[in-house]
């Protein structure tokens, strides 16, 4: 399973973000316009999809798609 592809699919399917806007360096808030409610939903979606637990203090640090991919890879090892 490709983590970045999965994250892209979640952003497109759940939050209605255009796939063309989803780049590795895209900032969830600044570039993709995700608000705090959407972000909370996104983190829960990551937890369910990848079967991991993301503490709040870690979730706050995940600002770009790349950071999320790296974080999730680390959690899945």
pLDDT digits (tens, 9 = 90+) for 21-51: 999 999 999 999 999 999 999 999 999 999 9
In terms of pTM, does the model score above 0.85? yes
What tokens does 46 get?
Answer: 């990551």
Domains of the chain: 3-76 (1.10.1200.10)
Residue 77 pLDDT grade (very low, low, confident, very high; cuts 50, 70, 90): confident
Q: Quick check: 68 pLDDT over 90?
A: yes
Mean pLDDT, rounded, of the chain? 95
**Residues known to be catalytic:** 35
Q: How many other β-carbons are positioned within 10 Å of the β-carbon of residue 54?
A: 19
Contact 10, 49 (CB under 8 A): yes
pLDDT for res 1: 67
């Amino acid at each position: 399973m490709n983590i970045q592809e999965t994250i892209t699919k979640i952003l497109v399917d759940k939050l209605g973000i255009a796939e063309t806007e989803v780049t590795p360096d895209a900032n969830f808030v600044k570039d993709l316009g995700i608000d705090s409610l959407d972000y909370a939903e996104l983190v829960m979606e990551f937890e369910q999809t990848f079967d991991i637990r993301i503490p709040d203090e870690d979730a706050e640090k995940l600002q770009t798609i790349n950071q999320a991919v790296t974080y999730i890879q680390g959690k899945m090892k």
